[in-house]
Chain A
């Protein structure tokens, strides 16, 4: 079974520039998550989709971050404009369904450096 795919793996941009990350979840997984992991910390949920609808985006900085999941499969996360503090690894995860006991499968992440 193919895992969660993410691209690019690394991205370096200057502050105030825009950047987009792509995620392809495991086939058949209805729930998709985007996490931000700052160096030395645990992952922090940014947004959760169930199929193509948003379940939770309470921790997404909506003034600069946006995400979409068209057709309930692939998803993109965009930052516009980027700030220095956005430097982090952005992890995408998926799970079978939106349940309380959900094992999440993570992609390799995109390491973003904002200069």
Chain B
């Protein structure tokens, strides 16, 4: 079974607004990654946060990790139409060398 679950399953916002997606997981991890997938560019790595980190920024992206709640959030600020895509969290489990992907959040940014 897959490790992560994203919430919401789908999100529709106006261009310029912020988008927040959440990911919950079930077991201990040593890192959590967010990926974006659209038809034009396939699956692309966005950001990685280690289990000993609480927050990380990359451009318009902000990721938080709460290991006590086994959850993470991805915030995209000042969204653009080009941000329209599916967003997946993927967890690297302690003792495993591969990633477990969630079910994804489908984000639509309306121009």
A and B assemble together? yes
A residues near B (Cβ < 8 Å) are 31, 33, 35, 40-45, 48, 55-56, 91, 93, 98-109
* Smallest CB separation, A89 vs chain B (Å): 9
Q: Known contacts A101-B31, A101-B50, A101-B92; is A55 also within 8 Å of B103 by CB?
A: no
Interface pair A42/B88, CB less than 8 Å apart: yes
Is B82 an interface residue, CB under 8 A from the partner? Answer: no
Interface size class of B (residues with CB under 8 A): 20 to 34
19 A-B pairs within 8 Å (CB atoms) are namely A35-B101, A40-B103, A42-B2, A42-B103, A45-B99, A48-B98, A56-B98, A93-B43, A100-B31, A100-B92, A101-B31, A101-B92, A102-B99, A103-B33, A104-B45, A104-B99, A106-B42, A106-B43, A108-B42
Q: Which residues of A contact B12 (CB under 8 A)?
A: none
Q: Decide if A45 touches B98 in the complex (CB within 8 Å).
A: yes
Whether A109 pairs with B42 at a CB distance below 8 angstroms is yes
CB-CB contacts below 8 Å: B82-111 with A = 88, 90, 92, 94, 96-104
Residues A107 and B42 in contact in the complex (CB < 8 Å), given A44-B2, A101-B48:
yes
Which chain B positions have C-beta within 8 A of A56? 96-98
A42/B45 contact (C-beta < 8 A), A101-B31, A101-B50 known: no
**Nearest Cβ on chain B to A29's Cβ, whole angstroms:** 13
Contacts of B103 in A (CB 8 A): 40-42
Complex-state Cα separation, A98 to B95, whole angstroms: 12
Per-position 1/0 for B41-70, Cβ under 8 A of A? 011110010100000000000000000000
